[in-house]
Amino acid sequence: KRGWIEVICGSMFSGKTEELIRRLNRAKIARQRVEIFKPAIDTRYHEEDVVSHNATAIRSTPIQFANDMLLLASGCDVVGVDEAQFFDEAITEVCVHLANNGIRVIVAGLDMDYLGKPFGPMPALMGVAEYVTKVHAVCVQCGDIASYSFRNAVSQEKVLLGETDSYEARCRHCFMEGMKGK
Ligand code: ADP
Ligand code: MG
């Protein structure tokens, strides 16, 4: 069997989780053995499920370290990872290792943080992936295609988990306009 790496990236509300769940469900239809991991810190909707903003969900395993996947993913055909931006840098070598061992690895995560800067291990993951898909949200200010996650909250804490009231999807123009007032 041959493995590879797929990355699904974009802003908040761009449908990363939706697209991840779609691909994983199709793998399940094909009777592939599927396992989904997410960082243990992402418990905003459910302790174990990976949940999209449009409320579709899939059973997942919360893990603390990227390395935990090595043991838990053995025997899988397809491995999904959601909120990959929150994992430690080891996530990249772990995904490469799994792909080298015949596993299809599908990684979803924010490509930029609320400051518009590349987020954690995502640039490295995009570098080693065979396929990179960038999905887009709709700018809540003007309706253009949005690729930025604008934060309304005052806290400077980077790992503030997503909620509709504190973050909004914005296009480049409206994101930059919003940052002027900060
Ligand atoms: P992500 O994982 O990228 O944050 P989700 O898959 O959880 O995205 O959610 C995508 C869903 O979010 C869309 O199908 C739509 O129902 C909803 N949504 C809410 N706000 C927006 C927005 N500004 N642009 C696009 N979709 C939005
Ligand atoms: Mg998501």
Q: How many C-beta atoms surround the C-beta of residue 50 within 10 A?
A: 26
Ligand 1 pocket, residue 147 CB under 6 Å:
no
Å from CA of 147 to ligand 2 middle: 14
Contact 128 CB / ligand 1 (< 6 Å): no
Between 16 and 56, name the one with better pLDDT. 16
pLDDT for res 44 = 58
pLDDT of residue 136: 98
Q: Which residues, listed in sequence order, are joined to residue 37 by a DSSP beta bridge? A: 61, 81
Ligand 1 centroid to Cα of residue 136, in Å, is: 9
pLDDT digits (tens, 9 = 90+) for 101-160: 999 999 999 999 999 999 999 999 999 999 999 999 999 999 999 999 999 865 555 555
Please state the three-class secondary structure of the chain as a single string: CCCEEEEEEECCCCCHHHHHHHHHHHHHHCCCCEEEEEECCCCCCCCCEEECCCCCEEECEEECCCCHHHHHCCCCCEEEECCHHHCCCCHHHHHHHHHHCCCEEEEEEECECCCCCECCCHHHHHHHCCEEEECCEECCCCCCEECEEEECCCCCCCCCCCCCCCEEEECHHHHHHHHHCC
Beta carbon of 18 within 6 Å of any ligand 1 atom: yes
What pLDDT is stored for residue 53 in this prediction? 82
Q: Say if CB 151 and CB 160 are below 8 A apart.
A: yes
Mutate to test the pocket of ligand 1, among 45, 49, 53 (most ligand atoms within 8 A of CB): 53
pLDDT value of position 55? 67
Q: pLDDT-based confidence at 54, cuts 50/70/90? A: confident
Where in the sequence numbering do the catalytic residues fall?
A: 83
pLDDT > 50? residue 2? yes
Which ligand is the nearest neighbour of the Cα of 53?
Answer: 1
**Cα–ligand 1 centroid distance for 84 (angstroms):** 17
What tens digit of pLDDT does each residue of 9-44 get?
A: 999 999 999 999 999 999 999 999 999 999 997 655
| CB distance 27 to 78 below 8 Å | yes
Classify the C-alpha dihedral 64-67-73-79 as positive or negative. positive
- pLDDT classification of 87: cutoffs 50, 70, 90: very high
pLDDT value of position 164: 45
**Mean pLDDT, residues 149-176:** 76
Higher pLDDT, 154 or 48: 48
Q: Which one of the ligands is nearest to 13 CA?
A: 1
Look at the block and give the residue holding tokens 């043991």.
71
CA 144, chain centre distance (Å): 22
The CATH number of 4-135 is: 3.40.50.300
Domain coordinates of the chain in residue numbers? 4-135
Ligand 1 touching residue 169 (CB < 6 A): yes
CA distances from 171 to 80, 111, 164 (A): 28, 14, 16
- The ipTM estimated for the assembled molecules is 0.98
Distance (angstroms) between ligand 1 centre and the Cα of 97 equals: 31
Measure the CA–CA gap between 165 and 70, rounded to whole angstroms: 36
Contact 45, 51 (CB under 8 A): yes
Q: Measured from the CB, is residue 12 less than 6 Å from ligand 1?
A: yes
